Structure 1
Amino acid sequence: MTEAIDHTDLTPLRLFDTTPGNFSLVLGDHHFAEAADLFEAVGQEVSGYSWDAVAHTAVRIHAPELADRIGGFDPEAGMMCVYGKDEAALRELGLILSSAFHDRAKLAALIEATDPGDWD
């Protein structure tokens, strides 16, 4: 059974306990339009894949120590998903992404810092 963990400070991302000891951090496409113009400004279409690229950039720039603690990334067109067994690591990444989501300058900086090879 998948259960959302109450972390309102991660909004609009959601953290789920998918199975005992496994967690997923998710951003759904119903929030994509709010930042579409920032992605389009660098020639990217907003999608789960583009948010995935930004999540990789956030780890690289703001929390490289999380790289070994995150299980993996599994985006789809309509959602960004990061998963793993370390709830604290996913929560920390969620806080970084949530902060950027709510601060257009921070999000624009992450988007601009994304390596061209990370865009899918």
Structure 2
Amino acid sequence: MKTTIATLLIAASAAALPATLLAANAAAGKAGWVAEHPQADGSPARSCATCHGTDLTQPGKHAKTGKVIEPMAPSVNPQRLTDEKKIAKWFRRNCKWTLGRECTAEEKADFLAYIKTQ
């Protein structure tokens, strides 16, 4: 099933959809992607790029496990951004691991807008 950005944003945060959808900013998503976040346990600071890289057309590598992560860019990985449940699951998990909290609806929209440009 092919999913639109609007459907993905509903999965990410239905309550804030209209404002979030209109405000999605790929440039903010790119800036957030590389922003480093200090870790409470003293481990090295993390960003989305720590595991996924800055070239989203290339595979990434999980910083802790070493597991290969398929490219994020839908242009080279058409399966990306097609499963609403997976998107919600990975936002929840990755935001908590990287930022130490869940991402806001605006952050999710910006990240999705950025990923879609790749």
TM-score (ref. length: structure 1) = 0.33
Q: Where is the strand percentage greater, Structure 1 or Structure 2?
A: 1
TM-score (ref. length: structure 2) = 0.33
